[in-house]
């Protein structure tokens, strides 16, 4: 078990040719220090699917590694996904609704186990999410040509 007072989790998902080869990047920090990273190839998916999967991978990492934090901020460069997760926008596509449900279920489990207390999702410009984007490209660039 690990307790971290303030955790910022930058996530990104990318798809080449949308849909096409896709990957996720997760870059988690606390007071500027790296806590964990994830760079994972997903297979063929859309950009929006990859964005959701990045959040899912991060939430699963918190759960599986028993990371507790009273203050977590997810930082995404996808305004659509942030507004869908926070309920500002409706999710119209059934496959994205299933991914949103998975996100909310994981958040519920983490709340129940008191691993998270305050959780926020914020949208930033792409330039402010370079570390997570770099991890997406690392996974995609490592594919055989």
pLDDT tens-place string over residues 40-62: 999 999 999 999 999 999 999 99
- Give 117's contacts (C-beta < 8 A, 6+ positions apart): 69, 70, 71, 111
- Give the domain range for residue 115: 2-141
pLDDT at 99: 99
CATH number assigned to the domain comprising residue 79: 3.30.420.10
> Whats the size of the chain, residue-wise?
145
Provide the number of structural domains found in the chain. Answer: 1
Environment class of 41 (CB within 10 Å of its CB; exposed 0-12, middle 13-18, buried 19+)? middle
Average pLDDT over residues 101-108: 98
Is the distance from CB of 81 to CB of 52 less than 8 angstroms?
yes
């Amino acid at each position: 078990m690990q307790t971290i007072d303030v955790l910022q989790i930058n996530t990104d998902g990318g798809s080449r040719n949308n849909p096409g080869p896709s990957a996720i990047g997760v870059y988690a920090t606390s007071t500027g220090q790296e806590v964990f990273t994830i760079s994972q190839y997903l297979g063929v998916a859309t950009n929006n699917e990859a964005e959701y999967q990045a959040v899912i991978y991060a939430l699963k990492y918190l759960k599986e590694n028993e990371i507790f934090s009273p203050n977590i901020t997810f930082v995404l460069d996808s305004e659509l996904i942030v507004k869908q997760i926070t309920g500002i926008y409706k999710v119209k596509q059934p496959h994205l609704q299933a991914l949103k449900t998975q996100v909310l279920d994981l958040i519920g489990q983490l709340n129940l186990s008191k691993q998270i207390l305050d959780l926020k999702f914020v949208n930033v410009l792409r330039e402010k999410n370079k570390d997570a984007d770099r991890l997406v490209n690392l996974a995609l660039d490592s594919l055989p040509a």
